[in-house]
Structure 1
């Protein structure tokens, strides 16, 4: 049995901007990935609204710092064969970090944590890592989200190229979710059901190859 951890934010949690609420379980991209990979693989969805790569959000009622919580998540779900990281959007909130390059620095920290983790019994090698760039933000008439992510449309358009370069430098896999999915103008940030399913379908052959299936 192979085990895949999907580590992300609201795009992994399944935030539905039409509600607002949560997409049906079957529509969330980790669920679609699970169906595509089959019963020989366990896909674990670990999504949290507002999660950053490595930055504090002092407005939250939970710990959204992805770097601080990651060791606990790794220890909880190990042993792991593949970690898919879909993070970076929330880093581009001006109140959190702002520039796209901040997300790159945070992503690099997450890679370091995974590769130097003290794995539990039964894991004798570091899992593969797949960096996924989130779809770029789009313009929205939602004043709250537009203000929350001020400057994010421009910054998020840079993230795919920056993440691809980081993947090359660190020997990680890379996938641009923006190549198959677009954010909804309802809030400029999240995905409708069709687009989150599209990410799960597109990741299946990449994950399969990295798992050696």
Structure 2
């Protein structure tokens, strides 16, 4: 059986904008992907609300810097056959980075971390799949509108920037915005139907990358 690490933020954790709360396990996209793969792979979900690619954000109770924690998780869950990274939305916060190019550079750093990791058990490097999150949208929620002020246009640039990075770095690429859209309730998160759609949408590419 193959082992996949899904590394992400609240979209991977399963934040429900209708709650706020958390989607049922069967609705979270990593679990939907695992089910779709029909027992041929285990998908380990490592989602954290507010996680960035490489930027510090100390307003939450956990370390949100994706670059700092990734090496620990790579070793924790090794051996791995595939690492899926879907991050960048929180980088759009104006008090962190506020620019798609910053998220792209952060994603490049995460790819370098996976490629340069000192893997236990002499395992081979896993494949890497970069996923661009669905774009941020207008919302009537005052807190989320303020948190992501000016971020809508920048978030629409993530797909093309991540695609270019994947080509250069030799990674797989999937644009989650091609199959899902964020909820107008907060402009950032996904309802149950859209998070399920990501799990189903990425399945054929995962199968191809892993040869299953």
Do these two structures clear the TM 0.5 threshold for a shared fold by scoring above it? yes
| Offset, 1:122 | 5.0
Which deviations, in whole Å up to 9, do the C-alpha atoms of 1:120-177 show, x marking residues without a partner? 1151x11000000000000000010000001111100111000000001100000000
Distance 1:182 1:141 in 2: 16
Unpaired stretches in structure 1, ≥5 consecutive residues: none
| Offset, 1:110 | 0.2
Which 4+ residue blocks in structure 1 deviate beyond 3 angstroms? none
Partner of 2:186: 187
Partner of 1:69: 69
Distance 2:54 2:45 in 1: 19
Distance 1:20 1:60 in 2: 16
Partner secondary structure for residue 30 of structure 2: helix
2:126 is aligned with 1:127 = yes
Which deviations, in whole Å up to 9, do the C-alpha atoms of 1:12-71 show, x marking residues without a partner? 000000000000000000010000112121110000000000010021211000000000
Matches within 5 A, 1:149-188: 149-188=148-187
Partner of 2:25: 25
Partner of 2:140: 141
Partner secondary structure for residue 174 of structure 1: strand
Q: How many residues align?
A: 212
Matches within 5 A, 1:74-89: 74-89=74-89
After the TM superposition, which of the residue ranges 55-64 and 126-135 deviates more from structure 2? 55-64
CA RMSD after TM alignment: 0.6
TM-score by length of 2: 0.99
Partner of 1:49: 49
Partner of 1:203: 202
Distance 2:106 2:135 in 1: 18
Distance 2:115 2:36 in 1: 27
Which deviations, in whole Å up to 9, do the C-alpha atoms of 1:165-202 show, x marking residues without a partner? 00011000000000000000000000000000000001
After the TM superposition, which of the residue ranges 57-66 and 127-136 deviates more from structure 2? 57-66
Partner of 1:11: 11
TM-score by length of 1: 0.98
